Amino acid sequence: FTEGVCEIWLTSEDTGAYGRDIGTDLPTLLWKLVEAIPEGAMLRLGMTNPPYILEHLEEMAKILNHPRVYAFLHIPVQSASDSVLMDMKREYCVADFKQVVDFLKEKVPGITIATDIICGFPGETDEDFQETMKLVEHYRFPSLFINQFYPRPGTPAAKMHQVPAAVKKQRTKDLSQLFHSYNPYDHKVGERQRVLVTEESFDSNHYVAHNPFYEQVLVPKDPLLMGKMVEVNIYEAGKHFMKGQPVSDARVCTASITRPLAKGEVSGLTEEFRHAPQNGTDWKARPAAEMPAKAPLRWRVALQLPLQQGGGGLKMLSVSLALLAVLAMFYYGGMKTEL
């Protein structure tokens, strides 16, 4: 984060399986991670299959509600037919998938659920495919990855009875048409959203940002926005994105962690005191005992106040105050003195 990173992706072949071989689990890891993520930065979780997320639904819902974690999860279903899932050697059934999605939608309002569908897996019947169509129609996933099955030589699936190519193609087309028949973001036009700006758009005309639900929001291509968390008013919505106009008077947040202090450096000093001039040479603030003997008294007194409270205590503080009083007496009494 000290180098400007503002978004972390945590992913693997199955993120939900983390820790099963080392005596821990994904929620434990995530709670430790969010402690280290500063305001203005976000964490995105990668794909997880239903069986492993089922074990931690309560904790995962709490984590996905965290302000520095995107309320987004990619949970593949592949098919809404249990017989097809069994042929795929999946370790879950459709009911498991629905249980995960329904629970998260209830406990994490507005969450984005992305999923995958394979069309034309060997043995898939028309009835099997219609069950998949019904599932997509019911949940209206805003992010859906549609894949047409192709046999890979040497795999068990390649030896199974194949669905005709024309049928696979038609099913893929039908599912794609269903997916494009609804616009998931139309109801969000007019909303004010907090977004994190992370990259340039594909057409190079906008910057790409994401709101707390990892929904894509295009914003004006203003270099000052890059890497910042800003508020925008949504004025347009498409199938895959929204467009937002930054709110001029809203707070802008930059992900950062305070630079560690150098050895001997004291926090809480202004730059003026950190680099007080002396004979054309800058010197950094340091403990009073190490300050240049010929440093102007006005700098020595001012620096001793914050520098000595921790070490010299009230004794040094009182001496410093006394010196300030003498200076004030000289000044207001019109007396001339060489400091």
Strands 228-237 and 192-200, by their bridges, are: antiparallel
- Residues 181-193 have pLDDT tens digits of 999 999 999 999 9
Residues of the chain with CATH 3.80.30.20: 7-183
- Sheet with 143-148: strands ordered across: 72-74, 112-119, 143-148
Rounded Cα gap, residues 209 and 228, in angstroms: 9
Q: Is the pLDDT of residue 27 over 80?
A: yes
Q: Evaluate whether 216 touches 210 at the Cβ level (below 8 Å).
A: yes
First to last CA, the chain: 46
- Residues 232-288 have pLDDT tens digits of 999 999 999 999 999 998 888 888 655 544 555 544 444 444 444 444 444 344 444
| Tokens (6 digits) for 135 | 């599932």
Rounded Cα gap, residues 151 and 288, in angstroms: 77
Cα three-residue angle 257-263-264, rounded to 5 degrees: 115
Of the chain, the percentage scoring pLDDT greater than 90 comes to: 71
pTM of the prediction? 0.74
At the top level of CATH, the class of 187-254 is mainly beta
Cα three-residue angle 93-26-118, rounded to 5 degrees: 35
Rounded Cα gap, residues 270 and 303, in angstroms: 10
Rounded Cα gap, residues 38 and 57, in angstroms: 25
Torsion of CA 71, 75, 79, 83, to 10 degrees: -130
- Residues 55-73 have pLDDT tens digits of 999 999 999 999 999 999 9
Q: Evaluate whether 219 touches 225 at the Cβ level (below 8 Å).
A: yes
Q: Evaluate whether 296 touches 278 at the Cβ level (below 8 Å).
A: yes
- Residues 66-119 have pLDDT tens digits of 999 999 999 999 999 999 999 999 999 999 999 999 999 999 999 999 999 999
pLDDT category at 326 given cuts 50, 70, 90 is very low
Residue closest to 226 by CA, chosen among 4, 31, 3 = 4
Rounded Cα gap, residues 334 and 153, in angstroms: 98
Q: Is the pLDDT of residue 219 over 80?
A: yes
Q: Is the pLDDT of residue 1 over 90?
A: no
Rounded Cα gap, residues 305 and 282, in angstroms: 20
Indicate the SS3 state at residue 230.
Answer: strand
Rounded Cα gap, residues 202 and 82, in angstroms: 39
Cα three-residue angle 15-17-23, rounded to 5 degrees: 125
Q: Is the pLDDT of residue 143 over 80?
A: yes
Across 322-327, average pLDDT:
48
> Which option is the CATH number for 7-183: 3.40.50.300, 1.10.357.10, 3.80.30.20, 3.30.465.10?
3.80.30.20
Q: Which residue has the tokens 């997916």?
A: 179
Mean pLDDT (the chain) is: 83
At residue 262, the pLDDT reads 55
Return all residues near 300 (Cβ < 8 A) that are at least 6 apart. Answer: 288, 291
- Residues 302-319 have pLDDT tens digits of 333 343 344 444 343 444
Indicate the SS3 state at residue 24.
Answer: coil
| Tokens (6 digits) for 134 | 């019904």
Residues of the chain with CATH 2.40.50.140: 187-254
Return all residues near 208 (Cβ < 8 A) that are at least 6 apart. Answer: 197, 198, 199, 200, 201, 216, 217, 218, 219
